[in-house]
Structures are given as C-alpha cells and as structure tokens.
Structure 1
Amino acid sequence: MALSPEVLSANREVAAWLQTFDVSLEPDEEPSDWFSIDGIEKPRQIGSDEAGGTFVLLPSQNVLYVSSEGRAGIIAGGFEEFVQLVAACPYWLDVLKFSSGGDLAEMRRAAIALEATLDDEDDINDAREAIHGILDLSEPEDPVGALYDAVAASDVIVRATDGSPFTTLFNRFSVDSNPMLSDAAA
C-alpha cells in the first residue's frame, strides 16, 4: 500500500511520532482562507505545524508548504518523500531560513549545525527509528539536496488574500548570522 496522508493519519502511533517533528496530520475541516494557489480551486490541506504553516498535497502529488509569514514553496516531490524529509531533517524549515538565499552549500552547513544543536536528541532519534520501522521507510540519500531541488524548482504561486504573491522559502540568513549555529558549524 502506498504511503498517503490517509494511511498515516489512521496510524495513531506514527501520527504521534510525527508530532515530535512539529508535523500534525490533522487538516482543518475548512480550507484556509488566508491564502490561495493559482490554478487550484480547493487546495488539499494535509496538515500543519505549530508556527501556523500548512502542508498542502497538490494534484501533482508534490507537497507544498505555506508559512504563516508569507513564504511558500514545494518541499517534496511526493508524500513519502515528505515524511522521509521530516524524519531525516526535522529542522528543514531552519535549513531554508539559514540558506543564504538558496545556497546549497550553506544549507548543508546549516543542517550539520542544526543536527549538532538538537535539544531532545534522544526523542528525535527515537521518533526517527519508530517512523522508519513502522512504515518501512528507507533513509533518503540526500535530504538537504532533495529539499533544495524541490524549493528551487517550485513554480507554484501562492497568494495572500490581497492578491500579493508569497515569497520563496529560501531566506537570506546564513549560519554565520546566528552565533549558536556558527559555533556548532565550526
């Protein structure tokens, strides 16, 4: 059986483990009215994060992330790839934040620093192990590279209620702009 939001939502254990990675697969009953997606009348929201962001499964099966701060982009080429990304790189959104505007080398550097600074490393590793074991998922070969490729190729236009387009998920910060990360990257 293919991995889908319905399969995952039905598995309460996996859904609980995903909470460790700040992913809730309990979509809102009503579609969000704070954004629209060009060419898609009724976006299929499949979950959210604690920061108010929304995960959307597009008709192409790509997973789109829409942040509550006006940023949006495709983060995975499919639902299974999305789950693999979240488990392998639970700090994926911070990797994008510290990407120096979409520099892959800086993203890799950020991932190494963020992995080194995980607060609840045991919880994260337990969740990774449980999700991979329960779902029989393979480890992604290069989650940061796959994230970069997905965001860089993202051509979906998400708009705020006033019609203005959301910006890319790549942010301008670098690892060196955060003392804790630059120390961990050294």
Structure 2
Amino acid sequence: MMSLTPEVLTAQGEVVAWLGSLDVSFAPDEEPWFTIDGIDSPRQIGIDASGGALVLLPSQQVLYVSSEGRAGVIAENFEAFIQLVIARPYWLDILKFSAGGDLREMRRAADALEATLDDEDDINEAREEIRSRLDLPEADDPVGALYDAVAASDAIVRATDGSPFTTLFNRFSIDNNPMLRNAAA
C-alpha cells in the first residue's frame, strides 16, 4: 500500500467529507499568521474547527498551530495524524486536559471525552468509513503517540510579532471539568 499523503487523501472527496465531520478540513493555504524557525515557507495542509493550522513539516511530521498561541508536533507523519483524528477526534481536548503533559491524565481525559461524545453514532460511522476507504489499520496507542510527538516537538513557532508559541500541553485536568470528571468516575 502506498503511504498516505495529503495529495492521496484530498483526491478522495468522500474521505475528506467524512474527516470534515471530525472537525478537520483540508483547505488551501491561507495567509500565514505564524512563522516556523528554519522553515521558509511552511506547508499548511489544513485547519481544524477552532481555526488552528495543520502544517506538514519537511521531516513529514504534522505540526499543529493553535489560534491561541500554542504549537507543537502532533504526529510522526501524515498517516499517523489521520489515524489520530479517527481514533481521538477530540485530540486537542486531550492536550487541554493533559495536566501539563502527564500521559496518565491524557489517558483519563481520552476515556472521559470518548464517554461524552455528542454524536457517537455519526463519529463511529465516520471512523469506519474513513478507515475502510483508506485501508488504514487502527492506531495502536493514539494517546501515547500524541504524547510522544508533543513531548519531543522541537519546532519553534512564532507569532507575526516574533513571540514564540507555547507547548500544546495545557495545565488543566479533567478534574477541573465537572462533566468530564463525572464521566471518568
């Protein structure tokens, strides 16, 4: 099987539509609102529902740049990114509730977020459709892979004024959110 690239993916309109239902859109590059040290023209391959940018680095890693001034590598390659989105469409919330980058907290958050999915049937249908159309195996440990990618991320992303973005690991825990805390109980 050939490796999954943005070009292979975007040639499959139905898969792109299913990924849209998981809050990922493969829009053409917009005017860049950030820079990445050592990379002249970052290749933005998509956006998420909150306006964050998805960038394919020359190393083939996928970098996420949030509109709130946080950035980091989230996947080793494009295929791993798609597997992450399918397995954990709420991956950004897992990082939000990572208690500063604690893998155990991230796993708790993932379980609680999975338990509180709004359109569980729609999401499960999207997961199955994307996996079967792309012939993708299920990710072994999507939360562990996300943790590893963000923890090892050394890309320095800057706002247009030159100030550096901070890590994607946020300080919150699901214990700060009553709905998620109850879902994890």
Same fold (TM over 0.5): yes
Distance 1:56 1:127 in 2: 23
Provide the rounded CA distance (Å) in 1 between the counterparts of 2:72 and 2:28.
Answer: 18
> Which residue number in structure 1 is paired with residue 128 of structure 2?
129
Distance in 1 (CA, whole Å) between partners of 2:168 and 2:50 is: 14
Distance in 2 of aligned mates of 1:172 and 1:27:
32
Give the SS at the match of 2:24.
coil
Q: Within 5 Å, give how 1:1-186 maps onto structure 2.
A: 1-28=2-29, 30-32=30-32, 34-186=33-185
Q: Is the Cα–Cα contact under 8 Å of residues 97 and 172 in structure 1 kept in the other structure? A: yes
Structure 1 alignment gaps of length 5 or more:
none
Q: Is the 8 A contact 1:27 1:48 kept in 2?
A: no
State, as a whole percentage, how many aligned pairs show the same letter: 75
Distance 1:27 1:92 in 2: 22
Alpha-carbon offset, residue 26 of structure 1:
1.7
> Deviations along 1:102-148, whole A, 9 cap, x unmatched?
00000000000000000000000000000110001001110000000
TM-score, structure 2 normalization: 0.98
* Gaps in structure 2 of 5+ consecutive residues: none
Check conservation: 1:65, 1:74, Cα contact below 8 A.
Answer: yes
Q: CA RMSD in A?
A: 0.7
Task: Give 1:20's aligned amino acid.
Answer: S
Displacement of 1:31: 4.0
Tell me the alpha carbon deviations over residues 63-94 of structure 1, each in whole angstroms, 9 at most, x when there is no partner. Answer: 00000000000000000000000000000000
Structure-2 separation of matches of 1:21 and 1:154: 24
Deviations 1:22-81 (A, max 9, x none): 0001222x441x100000000000000121100000000000000000000000000000
The alignment's TM-score, normalised by the length of structure 1, stands at: 0.97
Secondary structure of 2:84's counterpart equals helix
- Is the Cα contact below 8 Å between 1:65 and 1:72 reproduced in 2? yes
Give the ranges of 4+ consecutive aligned residues of structure 1 lying more than 4 Å apart after TM superposition: none
* SS in structure 1 at match of 2:179: helix
- Contact 1:18–1:24 (8 Å) recurs in 2: yes
Task: State the distance in 2 between where 1:103 and 1:42 align.
Answer: 33
What SS class does the counterpart of residue 125 from structure 1 fall into?
helix
Query: Structure 1 CA distance, aligned partners of 2:97 and 2:131?
Result: 27
